[in-house]
Amino acid sequence: MNFDQALYLQEDEIESLERALLFAKDAHKGQKRATGEPYIIHPIAVCEILMNYQADHTTLIAALLHDVVEDTSVTLPEIGDSFGSEVALIVEGLTKEKKGNLHKEEYSAINVKKLLSASVKDIRILIIKLADRLHNMRTLEVKKIEKKVPYANETLLFFSPLAERLGLYQMQEELEELSFKYLNPPKFHEVQKLVINYTKTFIAIFDTCSDRIIRSKGNLDIKMAWEREPIYKAASIIQEKKPLAELFMIKLTTKESIHCYTALGIVHQLFQPLEHFEDNIAIEKSMFSKHLTTKVLINEIEVKFIIQTEQTSIFQLLKNDPIPMLSSKILKDTIQSVQSVTTNPIEFHDLISFELFQKELTVFTPKMDIITLPEKSTVIDFAFHLNPHLARKMSASRINGLKKPIYTVLHDMDIVELVTTKQTTVQASWLNHIQTAKALKEIKEIL
């Protein structure tokens, strides 16, 4: 194991990490992976993936020990006694239930429910699970084709969106590319070739841009780089028959949010701006990335610019915020809401997959408070998210000042006001016009 990657840790933390490594080696002694390697290679690889994100030492210790209770005779009390209750809690959240006579679908759903429920208390459980999945995807080649395809499909549909929600964008990109490569090898290589062929053209555009921006930026501290879309996302862009320039972007990184707007002004002075513009600084859509998006015309080609501050890592947030509070904030109240609607693991899995992984839209109250909801949510979803007491008495709404029915589907940046009566107005038909588990739970309780 490469401890040089862990030099950001304190000396006593590295010592406890070394002790955990010896513990894990002893526990997994004699066990082999499907690759034929000693099993300990896997937890070490998971730990090293997380070192790249400068994970805290508790996360790293739990990563080394994440399979010992499930696959060896070591017990959770032993983990707690040797490495503390936090590590034991994380390992417990990562330990699958005994399968017994359960069908594969039900067994999988039970473990998903356990994983996500535990992650509400400590998001590091989910972070380690994602690193575990990434290493398994890197070594998936040794599996039979009938196992590769469903495993890659689950990675794409379930674990990749979770990585995005946690701001683990590099992990998300690799999970998607590996999955895509196994699910559709010919298409993967076709898209990869198109991206490689267009790269030289885009580098020439970037060189022109960077020269002009450097001459115009004055004392403003800007880092410039070009990036391409991940191969999986690139495939969707090509499928929609968009120009190949859409596969690339220029990123300008500044030290402070206010400097992003200065940089935007420079870009718009130098190049003809197009209508496309997004402000994810004034309206924060992610706690991990604050940025502006704009498009300009350069040599008759539309070029996307992302103007951002340095991205915030989830482990930076974990240093400053109480872990249960941050964990709950990232997963929102979705898991608790779904748990209150159903105790059936398969229904839980279906509901959570729909709600957690839907694209999100941002809407506002008349006081400009921000409400984030799944795409295709209606005024009813908005109302129960905002205030269940008011929601049960609403009769209509005003969207951007215009009176609308409560089953109206909302759009990004809408301003929504509720029109209420003195009586409860909830009807069973409302259930046909909702997207969120919270609204489902509240309406069922009222009815």
Tokens of 304: 């996307």
Residue 350 annotated to the active site: no
Burial class of residue 199, CB neighbours in 10 A (0-12, 13-18, 19+) = middle
Spatial separation of the C-alpha atoms in residues 209 and 302, rounded to whole Å: 13
Nearest 10 degrees: Cα torsion 162, 165, 171, 172: 70
Catalytic residue among 15, 26, 37, 70: 70
Q: Are strands 248-254 and 223-228 parallel, antiparallel or unpaired?
A: antiparallel
Q: Which of 13, 18, 71, 78 is catalytic?
A: 71
- The backbone region for 96, taken as left when phi is positive above 0, alpha when psi lies in -120 to 50, beta otherwise, is beta
Distance between CA atoms of 272 and 212, rounded to whole angstroms?
Answer: 14
Cα(123)–Cα(53) distance, rounded to whole angstroms? 15
Is 71 designated active site? yes
Specify the pairing of strand 248-254 against strand 291-298.
unpaired
Neighbours of 324 (CB within 10 A): 12
- Angstrom CA distances, 34 to 37, 38, 129, 140, stand at 7, 9, 19, 9
* Cα(96)–Cα(94) distance, integer angstroms: 6
User: Exposed e or buried b for every residue in 17-44, given b needs 16+ CB within 10 A?
Assistant: beebbebbbebbeeeeeeeeeebbbbbb
Q: Which two tokens stand for residue 126?
A: 């989910």
| Positions marked active-site | 70-71
